[in-house]
Structure 1
Amino acid sequence: MDRISWIRSKAEGKVLDVGCAGGENFKGTRFEVIYTDINEFPLPNFMCADAHHLPFNDNSFDSVVLGELLEHVTNPLQVLKEATRVSRKKVIFTVPNEFAWPVQLKPFMPLA
């Protein structure tokens, strides 16, 4: 199962996708999703926000997703605390798998 399929299998209810980038985690699904990122993206239900200080009330979402985000923030613990604060049920996060890098980078490596 790939990362996006795994995230979708764990998510439920109203979802907050923090650090959504282009919104790939939930593109084409029927989830009710609010997307946030530090950069602007042309997505429906998008809000520009810093993951360290989410502009939502406590317990606002059933699922909060941090997909490949924690390695990009200055204070991962604070981001996890914020995700927990705004989640009613669960926080779902993924981090890169360094052992998969050779497979992911292969298309970009020159032929020898």
Structure 2
Amino acid sequence: MLTIDFRYLPLKAGDHVLDLGCGEGRHAINIYLQDAVTVLAIDLSHKDISVAREKFLPFENKDDLQRQLFFQVANGTQLPFADNTFDSIVCSEVLEHVENYLAILQEIRRILKPGGQLSVSVPRQWPEKMCWWLSDAYHQVEGGHIRIFNAKKLRQQVEDCGFLFSNQHWAHALHTPYWWLRCLFWKNQDNNRLIKIWHRLLVWDLMEKPWLTRWLERGLNPVLGKSVVMYFRADAKGVNS
């Protein structure tokens, strides 16, 4: 399930791309498959990096040396990369988990080349507020969400770090009711019939991509999309120029 739309984050052969907070590798693997690029996927979780490596194995082409994907455990607030290293950076569904997210944005700006591309996604404000209202456990679980973002404020904070805004959209409208149901029936969600049915729908949609659910989600995303996705370019003139 991809959150980033690569029509708004075009890649080209030879690019160096960072997936910051890669989780189990969904975006990193997709980037690897798109073009002859070098991808570095990092996460703070050793477990997630291990899972991501396992998921990547069926897709790895060791004969194609122009297309590479590396995994590494790293802290987003202290990235172990030189200035101006990457052509593009993806930071999807990460900042809501991090205490000092502004430090991550500043590190991204440091390691992104002037004119380089950045895509950031976070949970959308009003669907996320509903989740918090329905269940305290949803946002109190270890490693869970510690804040609710206002998209306009976050956009301004990213721009203040030296970025130029280029585009925005919403994603995963069909996932919003699913998470509301999970929050509503949090204590018994594993045995809830309605949640199981909705989960099967989401898996079917992911695997088959039927026109009906694709059309439905596109129509609902502006209203019900669970994530807000924003795209930027690093200002070649520098921060606050």
Q: TM-score, normalised by structure 2?
A: 0.41
Larger % of helix: which? 2
Residue equivalent to 1:87: 112
CA drift of 1:26 comes to 3.1
Structure with max Cα Rg: 2
Distance (whole Å) between structure 2 residues aligned to residue 22 and residue 47 of structure 1: 12
Q: Is the 8 A contact 1:71 1:95 kept in 2?
A: yes
Partner of 1:66: 91
Between 75-84 and 35-44, the greater mean CA deviation after superposition: 35-44
Q: Distance in 2 between matches of 1:16 and 1:102?
A: 28
1:17 alignment partner AA? D
Say if 2:47 is the partner of 1:50.
no
Paired AA for residue 93 in structure 2: E
1:20 is aligned to 2:25 = no
Q: Does 1:3 align with 2:3?
A: yes
- The 2-side partners of 1:92 and 1:59 are apart by 16
Unmatched runs of 5 consecutive residues or more in structure 2? 54-68, 128-172, 186-191, 195-241
SS at match of 1:80: helix
CA RMSD of aligned residues (A): 2.2
Note the C-alpha offset of 1:74. Answer: 1.2
**Residue 14 of structure 1: CA displacement?**
1.3
Q: Which runs of 4+ in 1 moved over 6 A?
A: none
Instruction: Tell me how far 1:27 sits from its aligned partner.
Output: 2.0
SS in 1 for 2:109: helix
Where does residue 177 of structure 2 map in the other structure? 103
Q: Structure 2 vs 1, CA of residues 106 and 49 (structure 1 numbering), >3 Å: closer, same or farther?
A: same
Distance in structure 2 (CA, Å) of the matches to 1:36 and 1:63: 14
SS in 2 for 1:66: strand
Q: Indicate how the Cα distance of structure 1 residues 18 and 107 shifts in structure 2: closer, same or farther if over 3 A, else same.
A: same
Q: 2:95 & 2:178 partners in 1: Cα distance?
A: 19
Rounded to whole Å, the distance in 1 between the matches of 2:101 and 2:28 is 23
Give CA deviations for 1:49-98 in whole Å, capped at 9, x if unaligned: 00000000001100111101111111111100001111111221111124
In structure 2, distance between residues paired with 1:16 and 1:71: 19
Amino acid at match of 2:121: T
Amino acid at match of 1:26: A
Give the aligned residue type for 2:3: R
Alpha-carbon separation, structure 1, partners of 2:122 and 2:180: 20
